[in-house]
Structure 1
């Protein structure tokens, strides 16, 4: 039985047939990870604290190789980044998006037109699309807390599809403690950050004390009135 699945997509009036191999899918929630990283740093990340996507890409390739060896079938890595583009922000983001694509990441970009125009539903839809196509052999969600993907990941785990959350242990306690989901702190991936993150927790407070920044602005409360 072939491990390759055939699909037909339509571009204009012409159908285009292509084949997708079994894959290990990484979906990267850029807005949420930026928020979580900013909370750890206490401000906007500088270049030293921006994740290196070439390191993430190499890590994903090795994970796909390991999964291939375990399963006995060839599994391809698929790396995707989901992001919002603020009004007037295209020129600022263009070099970053092009750099991602040059590394080998696909990018889904969505205009940030409203408070609730997040990319979470698009990430979940992409995971379910690959699952529906029958090619999903593992899924990795990169999100500071991963809460919005919990139900989807649990459904996949129940079907025997391994699920991993990449995030920050300060924010993703549910995933850290979960028996069926693998949690990996982003800083644990080799080479992702040029400098160690200045992480502060209640277990390792300096004698002079430390500020613990909010995870979200107070204005976010207005969306839940």
Structure 2
């Protein structure tokens, strides 16, 4: 059992949210597919240590905190679980589109002309391998869509960004009055308890992930859950998956994601090794 990662002072990786600006076009040389869709987050490991046991709570210091709708995107987790549910390496057509997701999120914040309108902020958290490849172009495209990006080097297998995400949520809890928190992650081990605690404090928390890997949110009495494929326009075409929560009346075949012979060969090697 891995030791818990020591708690850190909450910092603000994305900086303070700023008023919505006019649309910024993707950087020169970036195609629409590159800009709108996710790309692989390489060298991913989900064997992250535990997080701080006590989630930060908002402090009532008498300040008037503006309302905020906050989106947190766990890039390593979403990329890994996408590969899991489709049983293959994602292609451009099977990656979620950040432009459509941004539109859905901002629309959910309501009319910005209302006197009590929320600020909106969307943040993508990513591990960056030593050789980032096309990730530089991906990061710049995200920034052009209005997302803040927190990028942490991934030099060791246990380098993770889970604590950074929780830190940033805590910072926003102090600087703003969190009205709605939308978390794109299927990582229930690290997020279930802190997110449910936020709901108890009056925050609307929505988990967006793939239903195959988000049992912690689906089974929660406090968290709201949305399958990523149900976000309008999130994918250019249906994913190659069969959802158990949306089976056809006559049933459906779920094809294997691995060759039977390949599995048995690996199983036999482990047993005799």
Matched, 1:140 2:182: yes
Whole-angstrom distance in 2 between the partners of 1:132 and 1:181: 21
TM, length-normalised to structure 2: 0.65
Deviation at 1:205, TM superposition (A): 4.3
Contact kept, 8 Å, 1:200 with 1:212, in 2: the verdict is no
Q: 1:134 to 1:87 in 2, by over 3 A?
A: same
Matched, 1:179 2:214: no
Contact kept, 8 Å, 1:142 with 1:166, in 2: the verdict is yes
1:85 alignment counterpart: 128
2:84 alignment counterpart: 39
Whole-angstrom distance in 2 between the partners of 1:34 and 1:86: 14
Contact kept, 8 Å, 1:200 with 1:210, in 2: the verdict is no
Whole-angstrom distance in 2 between the partners of 1:125 and 1:49: 31
Whole-angstrom distance in 2 between the partners of 1:185 and 1:109: 25
Contact kept, 8 Å, 1:145 with 1:167, in 2: the verdict is no
Whole-angstrom distance in 1 between the partners of 2:113 and 2:198: 19
- Extract structure 1 runs of 4+ deviating beyond 3 A: 18-21, 66-69, 200-205
After superposition, the CA RMSD in angstroms is: 2.7
TM, length-normalised to structure 1: 0.78
Q: 1:133 to 1:197 in 2, by over 3 A?
A: same
Corresponding residue pairs, total: 194
Deviation at 1:134, TM superposition (A): 3.5
Contact kept, 8 Å, 2:66 with 2:176, in 1: the verdict is no
Q: Deviations over 1:97-126 (max 9, x none)?
A: 111100100000010111111111100100
Question: Which structure is higher in helix share?
Answer: 1
Larger Rg: 2
Q: 1:201 to 1:25 in 2, by over 3 A?
A: closer
Selected match of 1:25 from 55, 58, 70: 70
Whole-angstrom distance in 2 between the partners of 1:161 and 1:47: 34
Whole-angstrom distance in 2 between the partners of 1:44 and 1:140: 26
Question: Which structure is higher in strand share?
Answer: 1
